[in-house]
Amino acid sequence: MPELPEVETVMRGLAAVLVGAVIERAEVRRPDLRWPLPPGLAARLTGAQVLGFRRRAKYMLMRLSGGDSLLIHLGMSGRMVARARHSPVVIRLEPQGGASDARGHNAPPE
């Protein structure tokens, strides 16, 4: 599990790439994670713009347009994976200058 400096480093790296990006599509592939995901999560995230990031302990909060935040925990691996085959939650982003996928692994909901 990553320590605070690693979480801060990952958060800053994500912010540098994703602030200003719009969530083109969100997909919940496994709703039976450690914490239940809220109903309608994918629809709520779709179309939101990433406004910024902040950290609370080892959790990252991705601030979104509309007043929502997406709570992200890096889990045991300490990383977010782009285009992993078995990701339970998939968020396709349209960042400024190109497309990318951010996939979370068992991150608790807000």
Supply the residues annotated as catalytic.
2-3
Residue 83 β-bridge partners? none
User: Cα separation of 92 and 24, whole Å?
Assistant: 6
**Among 60, 69, 75, 68, residue whose Cα is nearest residue 107:** 75
User: Cα separation of 25 and 9, whole Å?
Assistant: 26
Quick check: helix, strand or coil at residue 94?
Answer: strand
Beta strands in 6-87 (DSSP E): 22-28, 50-56, 59-64, 69-73
